[in-house]
Every structure is written in structure tokens, then in C-alpha cells.
Structure 1
Amino acid sequence: MAQTALLISDVAYARRIGIQPALPRKSLRGVLLNCGPYDPTQPNWDSPYGDFMRTVIWSYVGTRDPADPRVAQMSVTPHVTAAYPPAFITVGNADPLALQSTALAEALRAKGVEVDALFFPADYQPPLGHEYQLLIGTREGRQAFDRSVAFLRAHAN
């Protein structure tokens, strides 16, 4: 979803990728981003997370080689512009993708993009793993759901 929003909001990026967006930028009023790999050029390749990112890269690009130039091209964080839509970003504190989400939020804010972020301190208990927001029966899952709905309502008009 993050890259789709980038393609729609940045014509030059879409052209570099070779995709003609089907939606005009004015149709994209906001984006919900839950614990994604927003910059696959940044992980610690020697960690178990590195293996996960190689799989993500392989799924998108057809290679497991993080040095392939297409990996840098598919990265969202270094390519965001002020035209990126408002974003709600959340990630669990024990998610291996947490640094990806916080870095994207920082990059968007630096460009003046509205960001509503739901992040948890590193020592938050219980630890919240990948896709914690799907556990709607938990307090944290419900909080993420409520914040997502509020974000969507605020940007629907």
C-alpha cells in the first residue's frame, strides 16, 4: 500500500518505475500503513529478519539479492515527497519491521506530510509482534482499530 500511494502521489516516481497510476492523486485522501517493509535496503541482512526481507524482495523483484538496483527503486521511505497522502502508521514494539515504520513516519513528517502514528515504547508489555493490530480482542488491537477508523473518517471528505 505504501508504494501504491507513492506511485499515485509522485508522477516522476511512477514514471521511473514504469507504471501509469489508475487513480489521480486527488482521489487518494489518506493511507493506512500497518507494519510494512518500507525500505528493504536498510535491514540487518544477517538477522532472521534479513531472511524475511530477502523473501519480500524475491516476491516483488524476482531476486533475493539486496544489491539489485530494483530493491532501492522499490523502497518507499527514501522517495517520499510532500505530495504523499496523509498517513496513519502503526507497528508493534516487538515487530522486526518497527524501525521501518518509524523511519517512514519521520521521513513523511520531514516532508510536511500529515502523519498519525501509533507506536509503542520498546519496553511496552506485553510485547506487540507483527500484525498486532489484527488482534482486535486486545486493548492494543482495539486501539489501533479505533485510531484507523478515526483517521479514515477525518480524511473521507
Structure 2
Amino acid sequence: MIERILEQSKALIHVLSADRRTRHLVLTWQDTEVLESIHKTLHPLQEFTDALSGEEYVSISYLKPVLHLLKTKTLAEDPVDTDLTKSIKSRVIGYLQDKYNDPITQELLDIASFLDPRFKTNYIGKENIPAVKARMKAKMEEGTRKEKRSRVRDTEFNSLT
């Protein structure tokens, strides 16, 4: 919506200025600056939101790399940013850190990232890699034990019939 208002601002000014009853709705330069700051910060986030909300493909393994990219590039302070843009960026980063810094959530994201061959350990903290590998090894061993027990039960069942 903000993108369309900025894109069509000349037409909006022309239409709103033509009528005395709507003249007060014409955007001021301050309104335009605020909308531009908001758009500059939030527009890149729309693409990430769309990518992470796919229903037909796995997206949890993308989360760790996307959060890293947001923190280091997309939402990183730029010298040309206005104070409002800097404030919005820092609040978004703060929100994301609060939302995803829970240890259980981090462990889940580490495992999802580790299992994705595109990312492996690239986005896992070096101190967490041994724990993730140990957890995955334990899960694989547990799965192997369950599989063996299942085969034994199937063999026993087949011998009874």
C-alpha cells in the first residue's frame, strides 16, 4: 500500500487538490519522508516473508540463513538512512532476536539448518556444532535400534503364522 501511495503520489496530489473538501488529505513532505522510511525498511522484508511462507516446500531450514542475512545486510545500518529508518530497523532486529533467541527454538533451527545440505553448519554458532552433531547421531542410533526391534517383531510374527 505504501509503495502504491509513493508511486502514485503525483496523481493523488492532483486529484485531492482539485476538491476543497479533500485538499487537507494531500501528503506533506514530512508524510512522504515517513512513508519512504517505512517503505525502505519493510519492502525487503516482504520478499523474505513470501519465501518463508511457502506451503509446498520446506522453509524452516531457510530461517537461520534469512535471519543472518537480515541482521548483517538487509537491516544493517546504512549511513544514508534517516533516523526513522534506523529506528525501524533496530526495532525489527530487536523483535526478531526476542522471537528467535529462545534456546529450544535455536536448537530446532540449528538442526533444521544442519540437515539442509545447502547450509549444513554455515549458520550454526561454532560452540553449538558439537552438540547438534551429537544430537543427530543419537537420533540416528535411536532410529536404528527401533528399526532392528521392528524387524525382530516382524520375524517373530511371520514365524508364528
Q: Which has the higher helix share?
A: 2
| TM-score, L = length of structure 2 | 0.27
Higher relative contact order structure (alpha carbons within 8 Å, sequence separation ≥ 6): 1
| TM-score, L = length of structure 1 | 0.28
State the structure with more CA Rg. 2
